[in-house]
Structure 1
Amino acid sequence: MAISKTNGTPVSWKQLGEKKRQDLLSSIPKEWLIPADLLPSESQDDVTTWPESSGWFTQEELDITSLTAAELVPRLASGQLKSEDVTKAFCKRAAAAHQLTNCLAETCFDRALTTARERDAYFARTGKPVGPLHGLPISLKDNFNLQGLDATVGFASHVGYPAKSDSALAALLEDAGAVFYVKTNVPTAMMIAETVNNVFGRTMNPRNRQTTSGGSSGGESALIVMKGSPLGVGSDIGGSLRIPAACTGIFTLRPSAGRFPVRNCRSGMPGQEAVASVNGPLASTLHDIELYSKSVVDGKPWLRDPKCLPIPWRTVELPTKLRIAVMWHDSMVKPTAPVARALRETARKLEAAGHELIDWDPVDQKQGNDLLARMFVADGGIAIKKELERTGEPWRPEMEAYTVAKELGTYEMWQMHLERTEFQNRYLDRWNKAGIDALLCPTIPFNTVKNGKFQHVGYTGVYNVLDYSAISFATGFSVDKNVDKTDPSYEPLGPICKAINEEFDAETMHGLPISLQLVAGRLEEEKVIAIGKRVLEVLA
């Protein structure tokens, strides 16, 4: 049980959560609280059009927040737009997004406006931008430390212990000109594929609030879809960037370890290094993903974080004819009808455009998925259990695997590391033998699912074990209830495959976006983005 800092009395997880939620709401200025008569009804599933239809925003605020990061940066860098005006618009829209989807964990509006005014003053004085992200508001997932703000990562035990300093990535981004204004919600310990915890509750998908925005970077994905952020940063240990991007139809990059700095970020399982946690951008366009990635690498992150590799951003020249492997399913779960259709159509269009496509045998996927699952619970769930016990916080039902896990000894852990290395070696040999530029596959087996129904991170998690570069991209296809029906010849690959495909509800999912995943080799961030752009050209 946590002890109060003021009077020494025990404080329960419920009290800490209630206070934290109230403090978050109180941090939103009164003028940014939506009047009750303007709030959409709880039964309104899609709230993405509310900002435009509500009449609550000025036209200038709507114009500013409709711009992408790549559109904002040149306007800010030339003085055409003031950072203070842009920042205010995104602060207000983020506040609205939170009231409609429960996507935030922290706000720092005062810090944001102070930083924005400094950016404007610098430009007025010198006629130059501060850096490549001059004056651009950027949202951060809750695990990125910002001085003076909590980083609860969904634990009640972390409430009331503000960070003493900024994370290395935040410092680098601020030096590049970025403005921080909000941090976004995550699941408990960032180890659930939906964004739900006992402190803040559940973040909903703005495109349909009955469905999940994914996890663990689901606060970011919801905020970006609501245009409450032009560019956000999340993290990924088993799909935590790609899953929320796919659930909401936006773009992300899962980089290999060593490209972007992780120093002074909070982990849900500190010391777990069997599979590396990495961070990366989420945005509404692939162009924005590239802008962010180049800006971070150009900031020489290896001078700030010893885990970063001194690899500058590289120009990639792709062959005219790409050789792409297609993984139609991962041998564990067949994708649902809309994802299977998007995969077929994308492959067909790539082939029609002259690219060479081959089938990828999913023979190794199950072992990779099993390795990931065993790595996650190798400590017997002790790291998470200790945090929960500090306040009496109960386990989330989604985390059952951690409650029954058995702690591995050092020898057993070393044996698992050997198995991981052998798996990585075998996959690399197969990749090289196939001579492929990239792998095309689902990001998740569905477009999204109803809240509380997420199963199976196999399509993303295997590439965390391999540490390959990957993007999740919106295909431009959306679910069509008249077309996307389960194939009569469908045979499940197992109980989870059966459950996922039987639960697919075309009526609920109708009109929602469908995403796919592109995977390149390790440390091939530039290449996977370049191939992604080529694929999008073909789809367009």
Structure 2
Amino acid sequence: MTVPQWKSLAETKRQSILDAIPPKWRFQDPVPEPAELRDVTGSYIQQFLTPREVDITETDAVGIAEKTTSGQWSAVEVTEAFCHRAALAHQLVHCLHEVFFEAAIEDAKRLDAYYAEHNKPVGPLHGLPVSLKDQFHVKGVETTMGYVGWIGTFQGKKGDARRGVFESELVRELRSLGAVLFCKTSVPVTLMAGETVNNIIGYATNPQNRLLSCGGSSGGEGALIALRGSPGGFGTDIGGSIRIPASFNGLFGVRPSSGRMPYEGAANSMDGQNSILSVIGPLAATARSLTFLFKAVLSQQPWYHDPLVLEVPWRDDIERETRALIQASAAGESKLSFAILHHDGIVHPQPPVARALGQVEQRLKQLGHKVIAWNPPSLKVGYGLTGRIFDQDGGADIQHHIQLSGEINPPQTIVDADAAHLKAQELAALNVEKREYQKLYMDYWNSTAELTGTGRPVDGVISPCAPHAAVLPLKYRHVGYTSLFNLLDYTSVVFPVTHADQTVDVPHSDLQVLGEMDQTIQDEYDAEAYHHAPVGLQLVGRRLQEEKMLTLAEYIGEAVRG
């Protein structure tokens, strides 16, 4: 039987990723199957590393930068440690699309030479390894974004002079800050999916439970950081693509409002669709690392290099005001209030997520904060608007890139290829509907000032990121919990809460299901299969409230752990 050309291309590319891993870092024995070994984090991956490598790679981004910018740790030593751990991570869960370790080590050598000569760092990220979702162009490195038809091209265009030499704006800024770029992480083809699977690398699994998904579309990024193969990295989010992997992998991640982070020069699906903009944000193991990375990028004044970035530097006054509210609460004078979205009226969260919501609500009340139920305008209407916006071209852009190679259509894509292609007048009307819905939601948020007792509306909303903790392969059916806040363009920060526990998180026994979708998702809950899957929640604020939400997420995350 003749093998289709696209399959041969995909296989060659898949093998090239493995071949880029130095032989000394490849497993000599087969990795046990997921059914035999679910969790490959912690002690499992540590056994293949030296104690020094473990020490380096299990330090967070802030801690590493403190060492590298003061000359205590060399950039080369840190980079080699993370390259080694990233190589192991890919062999365990298929989390990488591009490996450029040699170039990274050469960059690290130049940073060490600079420090030796000038006795100071290049910038605040001097010597810090940073990973990137495979949407960002890096000199000398391919970008496929999971499309077989993009192999050997520049975003599907053969002979384009930008191939191999062009770099995205964020990449330029990270280099200026002293970061060391060393790998690009796997994505679902099209990006429009809550799981990471494509015809090049196959299916990317969850490091803490390899029976489950690592999420999407920044799934490779989430899996790599969960395995501590990177101290922090950057993903993108148009419907939940930062928050879902952060939640599924027990990480912190921020979906900022559009206009805060530079997207200029990054590849994308449906480029030019401006009704709901994809945004860039960091993922990391600690909340303080998110803030550190976010502030570092803003220090580069990206509004002078990306026409869509707002001239909004990091606002220290807002951070100080938020910390003052937290300190007042600690003194017994709570000035903070929150709302809990228990369900969206369409799908109830499965038992582990419902427990996490209850756990956070109880903790907030113990701390003396006012907590109310969140009952906003119809979420079903919001979900409908989101779906129509994503489907506005009838899947034409995605189909074009799939047909470049003739590869089979990927599973799990949330764009409806059978939807009608909207005319300009229809799209304009849809944008008016979106604006009217945003106004309704804004008015509802304002109205909560009557319920909080603080004289202000709620400071944030605690919501599920998904109905489930991670998800069984090809079972991601409902993206509403995250995509709604893309429609509204609200700031949202994910924080880890707990892990699924089969002895506690038993199936709901007296649930009044909300409809067919709810019934399906509840029926698919398998307590044994989900055991030990991370559970995270999102803290949602209003537009452009990144300083406040990042500060509050750090506070709530620490309170929940405490």
Tell me, in whole angstroms, the C-alpha distance in 1 between the residues paired with 2:414 and 2:478: 14
Contact 1:330/1:362 (8 A) holds in 2:
no
Tell me, in whole angstroms, the C-alpha distance in 2 between the residues paired with 1:92 and 1:493: 47
Number of equivalences: 528
For residue 192 of structure 2, what is the amino acid of its counterpart? M
Greater shift, 134-143 or 372-381, is seen at 372-381
Mapping 1:311-390, distance limit 5 Å: 311-315=312-316, 316=319, 317-318=321-322, 319=325, 320=328, 321-390=335-404
Mapping 1:113-512, distance limit 5 Å: 113-161=105-153, 162-315=163-316, 316=319, 317-318=321-322, 319=325, 320=328, 321-399=335-413, 401-434=415-448, 435-475=457-497, 477-512=498-533
Cα-to-partner distance string for 1:459-501 (whole Å, 9 max, x where unaligned): 10000011000011101x2222122123322011111111111
Superposed displacement of residue 40, structure 1: 3.7
Instruction: Tell me the secondary structure at the aligned position of residue 272 of structure 2.
Output: coil
Instruction: Tell me the secondary structure at the aligned position of residue 213 of structure 2.
Output: coil
Contact 1:246/1:443 (8 A) holds in 2:
yes
Cα-to-partner distance string for 1:50-81 (whole Å, 9 max, x where unaligned): 55553x32221111111111110010011110
Contact 1:254/1:469 (8 A) holds in 2:
yes
Tell me, in whole angstroms, the C-alpha distance in 2 between the residues paired with 1:400 and 1:72: 38
Cα-to-partner distance string for 1:440-462 (whole Å, 9 max, x where unaligned): 11111111111111121111000
Superposed displacement of residue 537, structure 1: 3.5
Contact 1:87/1:113 (8 A) holds in 2:
yes
Tell me, in whole angstroms, the C-alpha distance in 2 between the residues paired with 1:373 and 1:244: 21
Superposed displacement of residue 400, structure 1: 7.3
Quote the residue 2:332 is aligned against. none
Cα-to-partner distance string for 1:499-525 (whole Å, 9 max, x where unaligned): 111111111222222111100010000
Question: Residues 177 and 401 (structure 1 numbering): CA distance in 2 closer, same or farther, change over 3 Å?
Answer: closer
Q: 2:83 aligns with which of 88, 91, 96?
A: 91
Superposed displacement of residue 397, structure 1: 3.1
Tell me, in whole angstroms, the C-alpha distance in 1 between the residues paired with 2:269 and 2:114: 38
After superposing on structure 2, the runs of 4+ consecutive aligned residues of structure 1 that deviate more than 6 Å are none
Superposed displacement of residue 421, structure 1: 0.6
For residue 466 of structure 2, what is the amino acid of its counterpart? I
Tell me, in whole angstroms, the C-alpha distance in 2 between the residues paired with 1:301 and 1:364: 36
Tell me, in whole angstroms, the C-alpha distance in 1 between the residues paired with 2:149 and 2:558: 48
Contact 1:141/1:234 (8 A) holds in 2:
yes
Superposed displacement of residue 128, structure 1: 0.5
Instruction: Tell me the secondary structure at the aligned position of residue 232 of structure 1.
Output: strand
Greater shift, 39-48 or 157-166, is seen at 39-48
Cα-to-partner distance string for 1:209-260 (whole Å, 9 max, x where unaligned): 1100000000001101111100011000000000011111111000001100
Quote the residue 1:6 is aligned against. none
Structure 2 residue runs of 5 or longer lacking an equivalent are 154-162, 329-334, 449-456
Quote the residue 1:59 is aligned against. 51
Instruction: Tell me the secondary structure at the aligned position of residue 109 of structure 2.
Output: helix
Tell me, in whole angstroms, the C-alpha distance in 1 between the residues paired with 2:108 and 2:414: 44
For residue 380 of structure 1, what is the amino acid of its counterpart? G
For residue 21 of structure 2, what is the amino acid of its counterpart? I
Quote the residue 1:75 is aligned against. 67
Question: Residues 484 and 398 (structure 1 numbering): CA distance in 2 closer, same or farther, change over 3 Å?
Answer: same
For residue 475 of structure 2, what is the amino acid of its counterpart? K
For residue 344 of structure 1, what is the amino acid of its counterpart? G
TM value normalised by structure 2: 0.92
Tell me, in whole angstroms, the C-alpha distance in 1 between the residues paired with 2:178 and 2:41: 29
Superposed displacement of residue 538, structure 1: 2.6
Greater shift, 401-410 or 153-162, is seen at 401-410
The answer on 1:536 being equivalent to 2:537 is no
RMSD of aligned residue pairs (Cα, Å): 1.5
Instruction: Tell me the secondary structure at the aligned position of residue 210 of structure 2.
Output: coil
For residue 221 of structure 1, what is the amino acid of its counterpart? G
For residue 192 of structure 1, what is the amino acid of its counterpart? A
Tell me, in whole angstroms, the C-alpha distance in 1 between the residues paired with 2:80 and 2:274: 39
Quote the residue 1:101 is aligned against. 93
Tell me, in whole angstroms, the C-alpha distance in 1 between the residues paired with 2:140 and 2:172: 14
Tell me, in whole angstroms, the C-alpha distance in 1 between the residues paired with 2:525 and 2:400: 37
Tell me, in whole angstroms, the C-alpha distance in 1 between the residues paired with 2:134 and 2:211: 23
Quote the residue 1:4 is aligned against. none
Superposed displacement of residue 164, structure 1: 2.9
Instruction: Tell me the secondary structure at the aligned position of residue 210 of structure 1.
Output: strand
Tell me, in whole angstroms, the C-alpha distance in 1 between the residues paired with 2:252 and 2:415: 30
The answer on 1:523 being equivalent to 2:544 is yes
Superposed displacement of residue 349, structure 1: 1.3
